[in-house]
């Protein structure tokens, strides 16, 4: 651990000296005049301990980095960033209690987290009522930020992926017809299936089959036979990693040879083990790719790997971005007042993060590009970025936009 | 008749064969003990996971894996009967059913503790899928193997039950379990044999299921078990022909609700409600199931 930290410090120090020609600034020489307390709500126990672990790892890493650069500068004085981690126990009510404690007792400037929508929706209410900026890195449910001026997020919303995948299918394969197979008993696939259908029809793709099943089904042969009879150019299935291999293998067994597309729910490494060769060559949209080629992302990924010995997942990447957004806002505001920080967050024009370039819309939701991943030789491989129309602006110098529609 | 109709027929035959293999065990145990063995679905899961062990760890090919898993699962079935059900032979039927539920939970959570919640599958070379295209009809070798094996196993079982002394003893016990011991037949041996046969078939069903739907988890037995139980009841629980036919019927109903639904504008969402409503109607018309004639010989 300490070896890693010192190596990291060295890297940062070299960077600083290279950039500004300054002398090496060790942390002790910063003369911190105060602290910037930031609350972190993470699901350390309960159903999603892995999510909580990634959150805390990314948070500790980003804070170490910023303090190595003498923290945040406000009016020319150095302030040290400190994080206060509270456990949400993967439950909404505990997330509410954690948010209240952080805001009232610890008097944090802002809160990062919680991650899952089931925690972020109720915790967002507390943050909004008590007028404290909150950024949920990972929550994708619209209700988290809806009509809550104090609440932001770093991930795009579920409905965004439907148009992204439809646009990608049109650009990449020139499809004119599509079929959808989804789980009608689960909110996420159902919502995404409908978004995809609406977006596809709006852009002139005919939906020739819209078939459903219910959670726990393993035999999709009848639905797939119906789909194949309708002869679609592409099949879209926004399902989870334990269903996708079955759907793909059964479709191939029934003689379907066209492309199959998915959404961010595909992005679990278990999918690769379970699906084997059958999933090679398929595409899905997601938040972030572990091999995305921007400099910011590469630096983050290699630093994270060095510290924790594993590639960062999307939770870690989005948490890192959420912190950087907050730091940017505090610098812009040049103030530690919660209201000033909120205004600065809302005013961020373009921020280039690990998960791409983004800005916030009036609801506090990010406008950003999705990543298209291709499965190549049993590995998730960055293929392309798919952006909303007209984003990012030309001068931002980001990977070219491929998919157009976003409504 | 359009081609995909035939395709659906094959789909239904595959799904139905799998249900049928599991339904047989429910039916046989009910025949001799009047016990609904609710652990049967989890025994099915156990068989599938033994297959994972044999193929992944011991690196056995398909046929030895199938046989070894059937034998080991049969031993498990006999052990469960000896340890959990035999001491309750004279207890009320409710106690035994509750015990069966307990055994099921034990197997489920035992497997969860042993292997974790991550889904498993068989190695790729276990049964390499080849798809044959016959005049636009897609048939894989996996489908053919499943359907043929299910029918062969059923026929073998049927011959055992109908043509051997052991089978005659089974039928006799289900007919009158008090008179049979008086004729010098060991009731315990016959019951153990029944469990062995039923659970071995469940293991075969489990492995074939795992080949057809290669995402195995410790809870997979629950849903399949319920559906196979329903199939056995619809077929006439206690009769092996009924169980097999019930399983096939359930497969056909599930597939063809989707197939025929599209002509009348019913979406695939309605698959389960319509499928089970149809089965309920069968039970209303024939309360003892298709083969369950009152006072018919059981097994």
Chain A's closest residue to B263, CA to CA, is A226
Percent of chain B clearing pLDDT 70 (strictly above): 97
Q: Which of B119, B259, B269 sits opposite A184 (nearest CB)?
A: B269
Asked if pLDDT for residue B102 goes beyond 60, the answer is: yes
The pLDDT confidence band at residue A24, using thresholds 50, 70 and 90, is very low
What is the average pLDDT value for chain B, to the nearest integer? Answer: 91
Residue A215, CB half-sphere, CA atoms under 13 Å: how many? 8
Residue A255 falls inside a structural domain: yes
Cβ of B19 under 8 Å from any chain A Cβ? no
Select the residue from B7, B8, B208, B251 to test the A interface by mutation, using most A Cβ atoms within 10 A.
B7
Q: What is the pTM of this model?
A: 0.79
Domain of residue A276, residue span = 158-286
Tokens of A373: 């991943």
The verdict on a CB contact (< 8 Å) between B267 and A276 is no
Q: List, in order, residues 6 or more apart from A340 with CB less than 8 Å away.
A: A333, A334
| Least reliable range by pLDDT among A184-188, A343-347, B231-235 | A184-188
Residue B76, CB half-sphere, CA atoms under 13 Å: how many? 25
Asked if pLDDT for residue A326 goes beyond 80, the answer is: yes
Q: List, in order, residues 6 or more apart from A255 with CB less than 8 Å away.
A: A228, B131, B133, B136, B138
Residue A177 falls inside a structural domain: yes
What mean pLDDT comes out for the span A234-241?
93
Q: List, in order, residues 6 or more apart from A342 with CB less than 8 Å away.
A: A131, A133, A149, A150, A329
What mean pLDDT comes out for the span A175-192?
90
Tokens of A246: 């079955």
Asked if pLDDT for residue B286 goes beyond 50, the answer is: yes
Q: Which of B11, B119, B268 sits opposite A213 (nearest CB)?
A: B268
pLDDT at site B273? 87
What mean pLDDT comes out for the span B236-260?
92
pLDDT at site A5? 52
Beta strands in A217-369 (DSSP E): 234-236, 260-262, 283-286, 351-353, 356-360, 366-368
The pLDDT confidence band at residue A23, using thresholds 50, 70 and 90, is very low
Percent of chain A clearing pLDDT 90 (strictly above): 58
Select the residue from A207, A215, A253 to test the B interface by mutation, using most B Cβ atoms within 10 A.
A253
Q: A321 with A222, same domain?
A: no
Q: Which of A210, A228, A242 sits opposite B215 (nearest CB)?
A: A242
Residue A324 burial by Cβ neighbours in a 10 Å radius (0-12, 13-18, 19+):
buried
Helix, strand or coil, per DSSP, at residue A11 = helix
The pLDDT confidence band at residue A290, using thresholds 50, 70 and 90, is confident
What mean pLDDT comes out for the span B18-36?
93
Q: What burial letters (b/e) apply to B91-102, b meaning 16+ CB within 10 Å?
A: eeeeebeebbee
pLDDT at site B175? 84
Out of A254, A286, A318, a domain closes at A286
Q: A193 with A262, same domain?
A: yes
* CB contacts, 8 Å: B118 with chain A: 270
**DSSP designation for A103:** I
What is the C-alpha to C-alpha distance for residues A222 and B278, in angstroms, rounded to an integer? 18
pLDDT at site B188? 92
Q: A108 with A9, same domain?
A: yes
What mean pLDDT comes out for the span A340-354?
91
Cα→Cα distances A179→A233, A244, A374, Å: 8, 15, 20
Tokens of B89: 């032979």
CA nearest A348: which of A158, A161, A160, A154? A154
Chain B's closest residue to A254, CA to CA, is B138
Chain B's closest residue to A210, CA to CA, is B267
| pLDDT per position as a tens digit, B148-165 | 999 999 999 999 999 999
Q: Which of A228, A245, A252 sits opposite B215 (nearest CB)?
A: A245
Asked if pLDDT for residue B22 goes beyond 50, the answer is: yes
Q: List, in order, residues 6 or more apart from A90 with CB less than 8 Å away.
A: A43, A45, A46, A47, A48, A49, A52, A116, A118, A119
Q: A216 with A201, same domain?
A: yes
For the ranges A22-26, A116-120, A288-292, B158-162, the one whose mean pLDDT is highest: B158-162
The pLDDT confidence band at residue B147, using thresholds 50, 70 and 90, is very high
Q: A168 with A271, same domain?
A: yes
| pLDDT per position as a tens digit, A58-93 | 999 999 999 999 999 999 899 999 999 999 998 899
Asked if pLDDT for residue B201 goes beyond 80, the answer is: yes
Chain B's closest residue to A249, CA to CA, is B213
| Backbone region of residue B216 per phi and psi (left: phi > 0; alpha: psi in -120 to 50; beta: other values) | beta
Q: What burial letters (b/e) apply to A40-52, b meaning 16+ CB within 10 Å?
A: bbbbbebebeebb
Q: A260 with A351, same domain?
A: no
What mean pLDDT comes out for the span A264-269?
84
Residue A401 falls inside a structural domain: no
Residue A39 burial by Cβ neighbours in a 10 Å radius (0-12, 13-18, 19+):
buried
Query: How many separate domains does chain A show?
Result: 2
Ordered alpha helix ranges (H), B53-140: 62-80, 93-115
Q: List, in order, residues 6 or more apart from A318 with CB less than 8 Å away.
A: A137, A138, A154, A155, A287, A288, A355
User: Residue B59: enclosing H or E segment and its boundaries?
Assistant: none
Helix, strand or coil, per DSSP, at residue A289 = coil
Cβ of B121 under 8 Å from any chain A Cβ? yes
The verdict on a CB contact (< 8 Å) between B133 and A245 is no
CA nearest A210: which of B75, B56, B258, B135? B258
The pLDDT confidence band at residue A4, using thresholds 50, 70 and 90, is low
Cβ of B45 under 8 Å from any chain A Cβ? no
Asked if pLDDT for residue A396 goes beyond 70, the answer is: no
Domain map of chain B by residue range? Answer: 19-285
Residue indicated by tokens 């819209």: A210
The verdict on a CB contact (< 8 Å) between A225 and B8 is yes
Cβ of B194 under 8 Å from any chain A Cβ? no
- The answer, yes or no, to whether the previous bond of A188 is cis (omega within 30 of 0) is no
What crossing angle do the helices spanning B220-235 and B271-285 adopt, rounded to 10°?
30
Q: A129 with A251, same domain?
A: no
Asked if pLDDT for residue A302 goes beyond 60, the answer is: yes
* CB contacts, 8 Å: A274 with chain B: 119, 121, 214-215
Q: Number of Cβ pairs closer than 8 Å across A and B? A: 86
Asked if pLDDT for residue A26 goes beyond 70, the answer is: no
Q: A237 with A298, same domain?
A: no
Asked if pLDDT for residue B71 goes beyond 50, the answer is: yes
Beta strands in chain B (DSSP E): 131-134, 137-140
The pLDDT confidence band at residue A206, using thresholds 50, 70 and 90, is very high
Q: A164 with A150, same domain?
A: no
Asked if pLDDT for residue A13 goes beyond 90, the answer is: no
Query: What are the φ and ψ backbone dihedral angles of A73, each rounded to 5 degrees?
Result: -100, 120
pLDDT at site A405? 40
Q: Which of A218, A225, A252 sits opposite B215 (nearest CB)?
A: A218
Select the residue from A220, A250, A254, A266 to test the B interface by mutation, using most B Cβ atoms within 10 A.
A254
Q: A281 with A304, same domain?
A: no
CATH number, domain of A103, equals 3.40.50.2300
Asked if pLDDT for residue A395 goes beyond 70, the answer is: no
Confirm if B139 and B131 have CB atoms less than 8 A apart.
yes
Confirm if B242 and B31 have CB atoms less than 8 A apart.
no
What is the C-alpha to C-alpha distance for residues A272 and A268, in angstroms, rounded to an integer? 8
Q: List, in order, residues 6 or more apart from A52 with CB less than 8 Å away.
A: A42, A43, A44, A45, A87, A88, A90, A115
């Amino acid at each position: 651990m300490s070896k890693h930290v010192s190596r990291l410090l060295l890297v940062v120090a070299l960077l600083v000296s290279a950039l500004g020609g300054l002398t090496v600034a060790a942390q002790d020489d910063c003369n911190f005049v105060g602290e910037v307390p930031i609350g972190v709500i993470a699901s350390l126990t309960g159903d999603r301990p892995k999510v909580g672990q990634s959150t805390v790892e990314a948070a500790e890493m980003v804070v170490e980095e910023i303090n190595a650069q003498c923290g945040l500068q406000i009016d020319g004085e150095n302030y040290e960033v400190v994080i206060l981690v509270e456990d949400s126990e993967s439950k909404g009510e505990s997330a509410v209690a954690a948010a209240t404690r952080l805001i009232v007792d610890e008097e944090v400037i802002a809160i990062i987290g919680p991650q899952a929508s089931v925690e972020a929706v109720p915790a967002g209410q507390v943050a909004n009522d008590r007028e404290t900026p909150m950024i949920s890195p990972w929550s994708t449910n619209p209700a988290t930020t809806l009509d809550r001026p104090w609440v932001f997020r770093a991930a795009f919303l579920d409905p965004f992926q439907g148009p992204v995948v439809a646009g990608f299918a049109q650009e990449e394969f020139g499809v004119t017809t599509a079929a959808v197979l989804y789980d009608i008993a689960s909110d996420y696939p159902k919502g995404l299936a409908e978004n995809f259908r609406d977006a596809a029809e709006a852009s002139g793709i005919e939906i020739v089959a819209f078939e459903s099943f219910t959670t726990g089904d393993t035999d999709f042969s009848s639905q797939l036979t119906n789909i194949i009879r309708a002869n679609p150019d592409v099949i879209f299935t926004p399902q989870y990693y334990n269903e996708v291999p079955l759907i793909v293998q059964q479709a191939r067994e029934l003689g379907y040879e066209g492309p199959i597309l998915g959404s961010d729910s595909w992005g679990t490494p278990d999918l690769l083990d379970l699906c084997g060769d059958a999933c090679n060559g398929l595409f899905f949209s997601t938040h972030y790719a572990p091999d995305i080629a921007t400099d910011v992302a590469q630096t983050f990924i290699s630093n994270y790997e060095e510290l924790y010995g594993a590639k960062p997942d999307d939770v870690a990447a989005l948490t890192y971005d959420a912190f950087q957004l907050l730091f940017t806002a505090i610098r812009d505001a040049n103030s530690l007042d919660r209201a000033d920080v909120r205004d600065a967050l809302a005013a961020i024009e373009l921020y280039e993060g690990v998960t791409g370039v983004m800005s916030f819309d009036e609801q506090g939701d990010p406008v950003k590009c999705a990543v298209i991943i291709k499965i190549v030789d049993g590995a998730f491989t960055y293929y392309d970025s798919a952006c909303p129309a007209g984003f990012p602006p030309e001068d931002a110098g980001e990977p070219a936009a491929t998919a157009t529609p976003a409504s | 008749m359009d081609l995909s109709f035939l395709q659906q027929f094959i789909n239904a035959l595959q799904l139905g064969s799998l249900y049928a293999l599991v339904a047989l065990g429910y039916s046989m145990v009910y025949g001799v003990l009047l016990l609904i063995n609710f652990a049967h679905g989890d025994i099915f899961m156990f068989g599938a996971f033994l297959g994972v062990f044999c193929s992944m760890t011991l690196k056995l090919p398909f046929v030895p894996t199938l046989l070894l898993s059937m034998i080991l699962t049969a031993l498990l079935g006999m052990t469960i009967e000896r340890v959990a059900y035999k001491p309750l032979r004279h207890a009320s039927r409710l106690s035994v059913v509750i015990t069966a539920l307990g055994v099921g939970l034990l197997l489920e959570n035992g497997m969860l503790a042993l292997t974790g919640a991550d889904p498993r599958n068989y190695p790729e070379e276990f049964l390499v899928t080849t798809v044959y295209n016959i005049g636009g009809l897609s048939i894989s070798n996996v489908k053919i193997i499943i359907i043929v094996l299910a029918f062969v196993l059923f026929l073998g079982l049927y011959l055992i039950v109908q043509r051997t002394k052991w089978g005659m003893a089974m039928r006799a016990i289900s007919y009158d379990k008090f008179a049979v011991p008086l004729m010098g037949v060991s009731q315990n041996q016959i019951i153990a044999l029944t469990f062995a046969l039923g659970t071995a078939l469940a293991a075969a069903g489990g492995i074939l299921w795992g080949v057809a739907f290669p995402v195995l988890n410790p809870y997979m037995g629950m849903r399949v078990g319920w559906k196979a139980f329903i199939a056995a009841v619809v077929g006439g629980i206690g009769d092996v022909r009924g169980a097999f036919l019930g399983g096939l019927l359930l497969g056909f109903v599930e597939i063809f609700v989707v197939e025929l639904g599209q002509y009348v504008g019913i979406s695939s969402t309605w698959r389960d409600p319509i499928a089970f409503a149809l089965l309920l109607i069968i039970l209303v018309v024939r309360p003892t199931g298709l083969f369950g004639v009152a006072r018919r010989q059981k097994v």
